[in-house]
Structure 1
């Protein structure tokens, strides 16, 4: 008996049952994808209140020195964020035309007045005409310095953890809680 080898036999039937159950549960993830989409949309929209990107970096302040949080004047970009999802995918869309400009930033550019129009904004310097009267300083074009990137789309560390928790709960992977089929 002392010369006989010690043998440990592993029965793969239990593992096969577990993987079979996981396969069944993962065949249609549309509910999970929809929930992830909703959660990421809420997280993304919340960034407009905090002014902090998904990487944890605060957005560059507004150039006017007002202290206001950037991208909050009209809420157009924030309100244009929507989730789309399917059986095994999810995406978050930002539909406003300005979204890409704010997400990625822009190079300097020229703002040109429409034909027959002029540009004016509150606080614009007044001009003194030949007659000595002051009038608003309307202009035909303005050299804009460009927009800094203020990323709002993306998956933060907290988002990643929340997605993992949702997926585990969806698939009920907690073997200790008895959620996997018995041996």
Structure 2
């Protein structure tokens, strides 16, 4: 066959400019490593939800706490006598983690429940008498330095059983919020902004 100079084959070329796609992958990878802003938001959410549980008297799973005797007697809230435990709840975060908790030594017995064994002991009660000895209204409990009368009492050993009243933890709503925060973080890194 003679060469006529006409090519019988077909050739096509495609050049892909993947700079935008590579940029997207780099931004997503960077966002996955630099989770600090998202973790700070998660920590803030967890702290807010933990504090809210004291107002509702429910655990992370939505189950109501067993009411305390003090709360029943005084018409108050369980775990919120003076608010020290609730007010001690704090959160912290870094690029890889978020946490919420408290530094109160008695927090664990409330969170997990348990038994407290109190040994027998001697207690001295200080009072100040103002008036007649036979009228209880004339007696006041005072500090030792202000007392003009004291009595010593023997307190027998006893056991206190504390039910678990979990206040720290993750509920279904918390997990949904965490997913949404991380999704928004990655969406913003990808250039999609927030929904």
Task: Could you tell me which runs of 5 or more consecutive residues in structure 1 were left unpaired when the two chains were aligned.
Answer: 1-10, 121-131
Q: What TM-score comes out, normalization by structure 2 length?
A: 0.66
Indicate the structure with greater helix content.
2
Give the aligned partner of residue 26 of structure 2: 20
1:92 equivalent in alignment to 2:100: yes
Give the aligned partner of residue 101 of structure 1: 109
Query: Alpha-carbon deviations, 1:106-128, whole Å to 9, x = none?
Result: 11411554xxx5177xxxxxxxx
For residues 111 and 119 of structure 1, the distance between their equivalents in structure 2, rounded to whole angstroms, comes to 16
Q: How many residues align?
A: 153
1:151 equivalent in alignment to 2:166: yes
How big is the shift at 1:145? 2.4
How big is the shift at 1:27? 2.1
Check the 8 A contact 2:54/2:167 in 1, yes or no: yes
5 Å matches for 1:9-158? Answer: 18-64=24-70, 65-66=72-73, 67-110=75-118, 112-113=120-121, 118=123, 138-158=153-173
SS in 2 for 1:146: strand
For residues 166 and 152 of structure 2, the distance between their equivalents in structure 1, rounded to whole angstroms, comes to 34
Q: What TM-score comes out, normalization by structure 1 length?
A: 0.70
Indicate the structure with greater strand content.
2
